[in-house]
Structure 1
Amino acid sequence: MSYRIALSEVLSTVITPSAEVTGGQGRFPRGSVTALGGAGLLGLTVSTEFGGGGMGLPDAAEVVARVARVCPATAAVLQSHYAAVAVIESYGSDWVRGEIAAGRHLGSLALAEDGPGEQGVRGELWAARSSAARSGDVVALRARKHEVVAAGEADSYVWSSRPVTAPDGLTLWVVPAHAPDLFVPARPDGGGPGGSATSTVFADPVLVPADAMLGPDGGGLDIVLRTVLPWLLELQAAVGGEAVHSAVADVPLRPDRRVTDSLASS
């Protein structure tokens, strides 16, 4: 069965019937996410080697656009998921890729954060201020991440921090949502469509294994600019920008000249 046929079935049998409750009552679309996973759509962009669909960004954009016409909250969840999976596909473990392909794992992005003394002001994706301190094989991450879609509902977050030892840049991690000492407010405090569970995620700290690092220490800026940013912009464009909030709503997505010049010279 093609993913388009599978999507049509999920839209008609699950997403459309529950869209009013999702948006009107602000209830996370857990049934829709489960159905999308079962239909192979959460694993759409995972390599066929791991049981995924082996599709790319244009296919993911088509799925998000079609879902957005019916349920903006579910579309917002998919935007963040697909952008996170794009990073995990390149740098994540085989086990996580297999779980996503099997429809059992929902990813999300946890990149935007406040700077010191800037409460309520959302930071840029490429300017992580949160800390990462390594002790043996464990890394302690401290941060307050904002506008996290599916906060408290996703299975893992693609998370940014300052480097552990590299002199500059940022570092990305995959942080399990069940990790101790992650805190999500009972009531979502972020923007995004009702039901998308867009909120803050606190870590003070959260402990992850050192091998949870995605890519090289300090290499996260390159990954954000070359992978996360293009995926988010394309997925936003697929739904016209206004139909569904970004996976990092109201966060500046386009890097300034200093960032792009730095990347070009690297």
Structure 2
Amino acid sequence: MSYRSALAHVLSSAIKPSAEETGTRERFPRASVTALGAAGLLGLTVASDLGGGGLNLFEATEVVTEVSRVCPATGAVLRSHYAAVAFIEAYGTHWMRRKVAVGHHLSTLALTDAGETGSPGGTGATATRTGDVVALRGRKRDVVAAGEADSYIWSARPADGGEGQALWLVPADAPGLFVPARPSGEGPRGSGTSTVCADPVLVPAGAMLERDGTDDMLSTVCAWLAAVPAPGAEVPAGPVDARALT
């Protein structure tokens, strides 16, 4: 089945029937996310040799746009997930990439420090290493699927005190991770957009995805986020040519 056929099926069978409830009751679209995973759409951009779709951000843009037309909340979740997967594909382990590929893992971005404006990737968050454990401290704002995702791509200053920033893959069940009970972000209703706090979050030192080249990767993902229509923005009425968005 092509990804377009799979998408059409998920839209009609799962996303559209629950879209109104998701928005009016601000209920996270868990059933829709599960259906996207089962249809291979969460793993759309993971390498095909790992069981993913082997496609790229052009196709991901098309999928996000079509989903956002029906349910802005689900579109926001998928948009952030695909951007997070770009990091995981570049730096993640074979095991983690495989989980995403088969639709068993939802990730999201935690890159913008609370109180900061501008592009994601602020350096207010810190990392302190003690042996093989790293303590991450900070607050990230406007995190989509906060408290619902399986992992967060978290930016912080390097644990060695150097310049720049590092990226960390933080599991949702990491000790010390805190998400407010009531969402506090600007995303579509039902998207679970909120602040995520680390005070501190403890992760193994091996959870660092990358330091060298992080700025280039952040620039790439920021450019993609700018190219993909954010849910709530005006969406073209006809078929989407994703290549025209870049």
Q: Same fold (TM over 0.5)?
A: yes
Instruction: Give the root-mean-square deviation of aligned CA atoms.
Output: 1.6
Does 1:148 find its partner at 2:143? yes
Unaligned runs of 5+ in 1: 244-266
- Which position in structure 2 is the counterpart of 1:209? 204
Report the more deviating stretch, 72-81 or 124-133.
124-133
Kindly provide the CA deviation profile for residues 47-82 of structure 1, in whole angstroms up to 9, marking residues without a partner as x: 012110000011000000100110000000001000
- Which position in structure 1 is the counterpart of 2:227? 234
Structure 2 CA distance for aligned equivalents of residues 167 and 174 of structure 1: 19
Q: Secondary structure at the match of 1:97?
A: helix
CA contact (8 A) 2:119 2:222 kept: no
Does 1:223 find its partner at 2:181? no
Q: CA deviation at 1:223?
A: 1.7
Structure 2 CA distance for aligned equivalents of residues 124 and 174 of structure 1: 20
Structure 1 CA distance for aligned equivalents of residues 143 and 153 of structure 2: 10
Q: CA deviation at 1:211?
A: 1.1
Structure 2 CA distance for aligned equivalents of residues 143 and 242 of structure 1: 33
Structure 2 CA distance for aligned equivalents of residues 79 and 157 of structure 1: 14
| Count of residue pairs brought into register by the alignment | 235
Q: Secondary structure at the match of 1:236?
A: coil
What is the identity, as a one-letter code, of the residue corresponding to 1:209? Answer: P
What is the identity, as a one-letter code, of the residue corresponding to 1:212? Answer: A
Q: CA deviation at 1:165?
A: 2.1
Q: CA deviation at 1:240?
A: 8.3
- Which position in structure 2 is the counterpart of 1:10? 10
Q: CA deviation at 1:235?
A: 1.6
- Which position in structure 2 is the counterpart of 1:129? 124
- Which position in structure 2 is the counterpart of 1:174? 169
CA contact (8 A) 1:138 1:210 kept: yes
Structure 2 CA distance for aligned equivalents of residues 135 and 123 of structure 1: 32
Structure 2 CA distance for aligned equivalents of residues 10 and 124 of structure 1: 32
CA contact (8 A) 1:38 1:103 kept: yes
Structure 1 CA distance for aligned equivalents of residues 180 and 232 of structure 2: 30
- Which position in structure 1 is the counterpart of 2:23? 23
Structure 1 CA distance for aligned equivalents of residues 119 and 57 of structure 2: 23
Structure 1 CA distance for aligned equivalents of residues 234 and 155 of structure 2: 26
- Which position in structure 1 is the counterpart of 2:182? 187
Structure 2 CA distance for aligned equivalents of residues 59 and 166 of structure 1: 39
Unaligned runs of 5+ in 2: 236-246
- 4+ residue runs over 6 A deviation: none
Structure 1 CA distance for aligned equivalents of residues 76 and 40 of structure 2: 18
Q: CA deviation at 1:234?
A: 2.0
Q: TM-score, normalised by structure 2?
A: 0.91
Q: Give identity over the alignment, percent.
A: 60
CA contact (8 A) 1:113 1:123 kept: no
**Aligned in 2, Cα 1:134/1:219: closer, same or farther, shift over 3 Å?**
farther
Q: CA deviation at 1:125?
A: 1.7
Structure 2 CA distance for aligned equivalents of residues 44 and 130 of structure 1: 31
What is the identity, as a one-letter code, of the residue corresponding to 1:233? Answer: A
